[in-house]
Structure 1
């Protein structure tokens, strides 16, 4: 029998937690969970989500022990695997980020542009604190699987500030795109294998194989006409959301202009920011939609459970987010060497990028961490884009470490979604004011 494990979900109050727990329990033959802990600093929110998680466990695996805490020592003592999904400042600060950006005519998005940089500045030191908790309390062979946004900035900061930490940084968006590819090709997600390079939310699929057969050209033809949308995609629970339909369709325009590779959907924010700003509504930002949609539904379900009313748990089991995260944990436990898209220091994987770039590429997940796949050299256009964004993110991390206003301004100025240094300064000053108590003080 495999070792009984203590697994901690950090950010237990997330609306995604019930779905992740379901995906964990689905793999309990391979992941021998003794105790599952939820940890969050927002006790009230976490307690609501925990009501739903208890129902998931009661339905799927009543033998699993659930513990809920706001005490880091309790949460991380002897923990084996920590699944991190922080949202520092909550959805309230996400909405502020979005609205401040849009007020200045810039993309208002949680991970891209000024919103992403602002969120990153809030998240760097709480993530470092999480690592320090694990170093102090957790099992000596702990692993943190981090999917907290903005993943690129968080990864770059953790590799710089805690280079020996046992942490793997991932993002589910490329896997979500692979799921759309599978629907287009009428196959299963596990049949898809991709070659990919870039930064997080800033990358390209170079080759795609389905059951070992190269289907790249077939996908390119489809995506240039329809984006990452098929009839199945339109019927998927995720794509009942008009914003996601809009996002997946925008890939048609991008892939028609830049024909070498298939784009990550987040390129819409960097390659067509003017169009995106025109589409966005400052009075109904994405953060507001989540508050009035997914968050409202989960809190209503928690209240129904408290009152003894029946709740359909299936509504929380959508998308590939949890399955991807759980697969990474499973591969760490069993040294499966599963091939996943991961965020790692470059160290020569992309030959013509600097070693300290933090890149998103395929890698094999082992019980010792990630063995990256070597990508080779990339063409000048893509190299130039990546070097600019990596410099932007690097300057932001340096600004946080050095408490440097000037480096923060340089980072904002370098971002493709911000049209000038004058706008960058106005945005930065507004973000500093809005983030008092969250950001390190900049001088």
Structure 2
């Protein structure tokens, strides 16, 4: 089996060490000859890279490893790019959330004004990384799971339509993991799902086991009673109480949409007032991550570097991220695995715009992906999706054209913003906060 050279773009992410452990655990099906980290923040990346160099030396010494801030070094001789960049880092995420809440709006990194602000920062960074790949390793595939995935995917469609980029999100995979536990199955891969929507904005319409037995009623019953909560103890570390609230809120989503199983992020669009009322405008999810996962992961990395060994480290493999290995395997070994991807519709949803970036099941092999037909979708879901697609398209158009008007239009159309005046107020504050990250708007 051919060994791949892998680049993790966003090497300083707190998720990177666990992903490295996950890659090591799956070398039998996705062998690696070289692993590289790339990040524009060399100081932050050094924390994770010093620890991961030791992890690799102890567990997979045959893998060549390096970390760099130089794009040419990073992207030369690469087969697979795993991209999870965060332009502006967690401090800018915190500003997005707090500015939105100050105006009485949803403060979230991928939804509403915060998601739009983050999207405006992310587009340039993603296009830079795609261009590095196309220049230095034109045969490579980029597996992009950088947020906000819907806006990033639309930007890829518009600005780099011929580049070998596959956009994917871990949110549906994580929820499917929970569903499988609800009904006692060993793995989400024991389920066959049908799903349609946009990223962070979709519904499961059918779920069966491999024998064709309908699993949806039992899953819906659990969600109606407990939401997506399957183990109370998981929320007891790293400031995860906000996740418990999010998973429990799915009960309300099922109550108003009993025909399908919902993605949890729909709560931000359907219950925005509840989300604002529940949030602390002085201490948002970004603060929780900084005080929780970031501190614990970086502390563990520094301890590995200081001791010179990863034995007994608190860093484990990220089973949740095995979808990235699944996708890499499908591309390199032609598995034709069925996966939820964010792709151009092109008729898969028959009564939806052809150029919309939708999240649907696809078969993945050595030549890329093949979207599976979804058919017609109901009027209510179609209307919600059309409004959100318009928001995402306007954000990308605003970035390309430097258009204040189009970004205001995007905010005004967002279901999380109640009107045009409020859209202008929050936009003006976001422009000030994002100076140097966004194109200048005219």
User: Post-superposition shift, 1:126?
Assistant: 1.2
Which residue in the other structure is 2:158 paired with?
A: 160
Structure 1 residues 313, 88: CA separation in 2 closer, same or farther (over 3 Å shift)?
farther
Structure 1 residues 66, 429: CA separation in 2 closer, same or farther (over 3 Å shift)?
same
Q: Report the secondary structure of 2:107's partner residue.
A: coil
The answer to whether structure 1 residue 21 and structure 2 residue 46 are counterparts is no
Deviation track 1:73-128 (CA, whole Å, cap 9, x = no partner) reads: 00101211000000000001000000000000001000111000100000111111
User: Post-superposition shift, 1:51?
Assistant: 2.0
Deviation track 1:8-67 (CA, whole Å, cap 9, x = no partner) reads: 000000000011111111121222211100000000000001122123213321221111
Deviation track 1:185-236 (CA, whole Å, cap 9, x = no partner) reads: 1112221221110000000011112333220111112211111122xx3234
User: Post-superposition shift, 1:315?
Assistant: 3.6
Q: Within 5 Å, give how 1:246-265 maps onto structure 2.
A: 246-265=245-264
Counterparts of 1:94 and 1:244, CA distance in 2: 17
Which residue in the other structure is 1:419 paired with?
A: 418
Which residue in the other structure is 2:186 paired with?
A: 188
Q: Within 5 Å, give how 1:38-437 maps onto structure 2.
A: 38-138=37-137, 140-189=138-187, 190-212=189-211, 213-230=213-230, 233-236=231-234, 241-308=240-307, 315-317=314-316, 320-437=319-436
Counterparts of 2:280 and 2:10, CA distance in 1: 28
Structure 1 residues 390, 361: CA separation in 2 closer, same or farther (over 3 Å shift)?
same
User: Post-superposition shift, 1:319?
Assistant: 5.3
Q: Could you state the TM-score of these two structures normalised by the residue count of structure 1?
A: 0.96
Structure 1 residues 33, 255: CA separation in 2 closer, same or farther (over 3 Å shift)?
same
Counterparts of 1:313 and 1:10, CA distance in 2: 27
Q: Could you state the TM-score of these two structures normalised by the residue count of structure 2?
A: 0.96
- C-alpha RMSD over aligned residues: 1.6
* Structure 1: stretches of 5+ with no match in the other structure: none
* Structure 2: stretches of 5+ with no match in the other structure: none
Structure 1 residues 238, 375: CA separation in 2 closer, same or farther (over 3 Å shift)?
farther
Deviation track 1:372-418 (CA, whole Å, cap 9, x = no partner) reads: 11100000000000000000100111010111110000000011111
Are the aligned partners of 1:335 and 1:366 in contact in 2 as well (CA < 8 Å)? yes
Structure 1 residues 238, 186: CA separation in 2 closer, same or farther (over 3 Å shift)?
farther
Counterparts of 1:186 and 1:315, CA distance in 2: 28
Counterparts of 2:261 and 2:152, CA distance in 1: 25
Counterparts of 1:28 and 1:19, CA distance in 2: 15
Structure 1 residues 30, 318: CA separation in 2 closer, same or farther (over 3 Å shift)?
closer
Q: Report the secondary structure of 1:145's partner residue.
A: strand
